[in-house]
Amino acid sequence: MMNLPESDSEDELPPGWEERVTGDGSVYYANHLTKNTQWTHPRTGKKKVVLGDLPYGWERCIDKSTGKVLYIDHENHRTTYTDPRLAFAVEEKEHINDFRQRFDASSTALHVLHGRDLTNTTALITGANTGIGFETARSLLKHGCKVIFGCRNVRAAEEAIEKIRQEKSTAAENCEALHLDLTSLKSVVTFANVVKVKYKVLNAVILNAGVFGLPYSKTEDGYETTFQVRKFDTGHNLSQYFIT
């Protein structure tokens, strides 16, 4: 067994090593120090494979001048020689109860949804007009999901939907903006009733809305504003209003 530098992660490659993938999806490892390659991970001794299609917006092509395989990310307008599926490579006999973390702070919503077909599903996202909520909605739409934007500012929600609509690759007709003001329990109940009438099934309720750094104030229901918005979007759980 070779003597390798210590690491906090058994899956981290030692210095001088590079992870690559063949055309049929088999992962191999190149040691630039010894100029050798091998099929097994230098730390774990296990083999890996990449499965499924390329992530949304990616294209595989051949560089005519060099004959090398290129991967083009049309979403972010960049090109790389590294197969983007390597980030999601799995061990050939991956155990069902292997709960090692697959995503981190650098992962995007498109990465998390890679390979999923969400056609004929419906998701409700609170605060979907901006930030994390907007990127979540945008990514779900790209994978075929219908998305309900539950927002306090309906005009801002409609502008966000229009922004998505301008991306011709996204089915923005699967969006709908509905008014939801979490500082008003009356608004929460009204919103829930409208959704239940218009949609037979909700496959996901993504509780994203929130406020931060406000001066002390109370809602019309007598609760401190930050507490009510977060309580009824997470702790109290808005989804309870959709249980019939």
CATH value at residue 211: 3.40.50.720
From 57, 91, 125, the end of a domain falls on 91
Return the CATH number at 33: 2.20.70.10
87 shares a domain with 38: yes
- Residue 10 is assigned to a structural domain of this protein: no
At position 154, the amino acid (one-letter code) is: V
For every one of its 244 residues, what pLDDT tens digit does the chain have, with 9 covering 90 and above? Answer: 455 555 455 678 899 999 988 877 889 999 999 999 999 999 888 899 888 788 888 888 988 888 888 899 888 888 998 888 888 888 876 544 554 556 666 778 887 887 788 889 999 999 999 999 999 999 999 888 999 999 999 999 999 999 988 886 666 678 999 999 999 999 999 999 999 999 988 999 998 888 877 889 998 989 888 888 876 655 445 555 554 4
* Residue at 8 is within a domain: no
Q: 13 by DSSP, 3-state: which?
A: coil
Q: Is the pTM of this model over 0.85?
A: no
For 178, the enclosing helix (H) or strand (E) is: strand 175-179
Q: Identify the CA nearest to 238 among candidates 150, 135, 138.
A: 150
Answer yes or no: do 73 and 129 share one domain: no
C-alpha–C-alpha distance, residues 177 and 120, integer Å: 18
In a domain, 12, yes or no: no
Alpha carbon distances (Å) from 4 to 13, 17, 34, 238: 10, 11, 14, 50
**Among 64, 91, 118, residue at a domain's last position:** 91
Considering the domain architecture, whether residues 76 and 122 belong to the same structural domain is answered as no
Residue 108 identity (one-letter amino acid): T
Total count of domains within the chain? 2
In the sheet with 27-31, reading across from the earlier edge strand, the strands are 17-21, 27-31, 36-38
Q: Answer yes or no: do 149 and 196 share one domain.
A: yes
Q: Does 224 lie in the same domain as 128?
A: yes
Residues 67, 135 within the same domain: no
Cβ burial, residue 124 (10 Å; 0-12/13-18/19+): buried
Domain of residue 31, residue span: 17-91
